[in-house]
Structure 1
Amino acid sequence: MTPKNRRLLWIGDIHQTAEFCHVADAIGSDIEMQEYPNVDVALNATTGNEPAPTLICLTETHPGQIQFHDVLRLVHHWPLSRIVAVGSCLSDGRRRSGPVVDGILEVPWHDLPSRMQVWLQRLDSGAPSSLTHAPTSRREERWLAEVIEAQTSCHSVNQSAQATVTVAASSKSMTEAVGELVTASGGILVHSVTGKPAIQDTADVIFWDLDESPKSQLEWIRLLTSQKPTRVLALLCSFPRSDTAQAAMEAGATAVLGRPTDCEAIRGVLCMAQTALLAAS
């Protein structure tokens, strides 16, 4: 059941790509969604007494689809709403070379469900997130701001609700890199593994960095889930596609994140685990 004060305007055809369908299913329980095919329809469909949306997602199935004048119209109509661009697989490579449109945050489709957890939590508490950081700030500056906020959040969380984490990757250097991100994001790192995570692992969360498609590890994912069904399992891989992400989640994975990732996406996975721990306590 979604809180009544949370509303997301999705501008674009959700069913145009399997990636967007995947995202809509993943965030549907966190926020009320209203879909419009384009900016004109979204603006014409609103009434004067309707509250402003919490978030506006502009979708991009290919580079250059989002125009600055559309963003400007949305800002004039809803000056307090946060606007983000959501890119599909076809726009992912271009995303890595710079922002899609000046002044708005762009998020790859596979990271949106995880980052949505952080955004909504921070909006409720009044704390900053990437939605409030300047889009022109360097990655190092955004990471530093996220680390400071994550450490502040950890002090305010019940100790019993803090999730223990195992990190697994194909190389020692990658295991250390992901482990540092987890620690910076507020996670309690208890195990670091080179190779596959152990079936009998007892951590609340496993971050598994894959150097191949998740489809090649579906059986191991099923074994990890069956050993501890309440565990949160997040996979990291390069350029994830909707079919592989869906197959991994059907096998038991909780989230599929892209590589490179950041503290906010990691923090979103930890939020999922904390919510599960609080519900179980």
Structure 2
Amino acid sequence: MTLTLTGHVTLPEHRGKGGFDHAAIHAASGHVYVAHTANDAVDVFDREKYLFSIPNLTGVAGALVSDDAQLIFSSNRGENTVGIFAPGLDPAVTKVAVGVRPNGLAYDHGRKLLLAANVGDPAIARSYTLTMVDVGARAVRSSIEVPGRTRWTVFDPDVEVFYVNISEPAVIVVVDARKPTEIAHMIAVPAAGPHGLDLDLASGRLFCACDAGVLVTLDAASCKVLSERPLSGTPDVIFFNRARQHLYVAVGDPGVIDVFDTRSMTSLGRIETEKGAHTLALPPSGDHLYAFLPRTHRAAIYQTNEVTP
């Protein structure tokens, strides 16, 4: 087995529509920060129990942790802001107004530069944008128009660029952190609906899970497609486990995690979660994985295992 279920943590019941969205883990404390969209809050818990929530984050869609900066970022899609706050109980949250419906987040600690990928609104002209936030100044540095609805985003600290998935046209937008005022170039993706995104720094590969039910692997430097693999359905969040050399893809319908060996890009099978479970969290150690179960408002905890395909 690639993943072994070891337990659950019960989280607050949903107060409104929706469930959970993007999550991240604070390495020093082991605390998990998950966007609880239904509650306009970020829930915080550890491997044993729910701890507390950070409220008043309207329509929160994403949580990102910077262990270097000791900061947590949230994308608050219902109020067009990002939140910036310190780890721990009852933090003071600074909000910065960004573009229309922010979702994906990525951070360049060296430049203290946060990218908020804004989903936009098709009824609002030119609302598909990236907002570059100067975290030190708590202010917007620039806005970059992109060709379509954004999905997730990652930062490559070695090459110093941001990668941002665009749903349609099917491309990955590349922004140079040294010139965060424009698109540097775009990488074509040969499947509809680029959605989940992660990066293998050692090999320079981008893993892009697409709505068409395809996992596409690309060489970031040459923009060449390296492989295409079928998924169990329409994916959302993906995480690359550097310690295990595995990739986990959350598929909300039927409710599974597809697992791949990234050395060969072969499937290692799938693990059943719960219908609607479309988001995950992975600690830097890579020794366990969280899946968020919206129907039962719980986090499932899995031990990650070494497996030879």
Tell me which protein shows more strand as a share of its residues: 2
Tell me which protein shows more helix as a share of its residues: 1
